[in-house]
Chain A
Amino acid sequence: GENVEQHPSTLSVQEGDSAVIKCTYSDSASNYFPWYKQELGKGPQLIIDIRSNVGEKKDQRIAVTLNKTAKHFSLHITETQPEDSAVYFCAASMDTGGGNKLTFGTGTQLKVEL
């Protein structure tokens, strides 16, 4: 089955700096890659996703890049703010013909310091 690795496990940045989180996946059939933000005591919230037919997607301060050849994708957050502090999860999904389960990475605890 699919395996998703995520790095780093913790990331501390100064407010205004950029943050980058990287994920690799094992199954070349994966074709959908969402990123979720999870705040304490809450469920994961989708912040951006990318499909395998594009290499990059941007939404304001957040961008995701995908390298299908290397089987890795990354989340980039620019101009970080204290409210960006949370746990971020990458995930991968493939079309199995019967559903669309997500395989998650182990998460990155992002702390934005004033």
Chain B
Amino acid sequence: DAGVTQSPTHLIKTRGQQVTLRCSPKSGHDTVSWYQQALGQGPQFIFQYYEEEERQRGNFPDRFSGHQFPNYSSELNVNALLLGDSALYLCASSLLSPQETQYFGPGTRLLVL
């Protein structure tokens, strides 16, 4: 049984560009959450998708958007990249029910130059 997978593993972009990160959830899971982890910090919640809709959103600007597909996989899009967007982007999958465990993927390391 495959766990949570993310692609790509690393990415280098320049300021102003756009990026798309991808996530496939753990088998049997229907909910995907995205987190941003700056160096030396804890993960910060970006948003959560269930049934192809954004269910919750953290304190991130509209430059951050996402999508969930019918097979439960998800994409995170970031437009107009800033240097401060450099971070590890983590995808977590779970069931939507409260108190359900979230399982994290290995992350995508994004560097904005």
A interface residues with partner B (beta carbon < 8 Å): 4, 6, 31-32, 34, 36, 42-46, 49, 51, 89, 91, 93-96, 98-107
How many A-B residue pairs have C-beta atoms within 8 angstroms? Tell me: 74
Complexed CA–CA distance, A105 and B37 (Å): 12
Most A-side CB within 10 Å, residue of B44, B98, B105: B98
Complexed CA–CA distance, A96 and B10 (Å): 33
Complexed CA–CA distance, A101 and B56 (Å): 8
Residues of A within 8 A of B101 (CB): 34, 46, 49
The residue that A34 contacts in the complex, of B41, B90, B102, with Cβ under 8 A, is B102
CB under 8 Å from chain A, chain B span 14-58: 31, 33, 35, 40-45, 48, 50, 55-56, 58
User: In this complex, what residue of B is CB-closest to A2?
Assistant: B45
Complexed CA–CA distance, A95 and B97 (Å): 8
Residues of B within 8 A of A99 (CB): 31, 33, 48, 50, 55-56, 96
Q: Shortest CB–CB separation between residue B38 and chain A, in angstroms?
A: 11
6 A-B pairs with the lowest CB-CB distances in the bound complex, closest first: A104-B42, A95-B98, A99-B56, A43-B104, A32-B99, A99-B55
- Does B1 interact with chain A (Cβ within 8 Å)? no
The residue that A93 contacts in the complex, of B4, B98, B106, B107, with Cβ under 8 A, is B98
Q: Shortest CB–CB separation between residue A4 and chain B, in angstroms?
A: 8
Evaluate contact between B42 and A95: CB separation under 8 angstroms: no
CB under 8 Å from chain A, chain B span 65-113: 90, 92, 94, 96-107
The residue that A36 contacts in the complex, of B41, B104, B107, with Cβ under 8 A, is B104
Evaluate contact between B42 and A100: CB separation under 8 angstroms: no
Q: Shortest CB–CB separation between residue B34 and chain A, in angstroms?
A: 10
Complexed CA–CA distance, A42 and B58 (Å): 23
Residues of B within 8 A of A44 (CB): 43, 90, 104
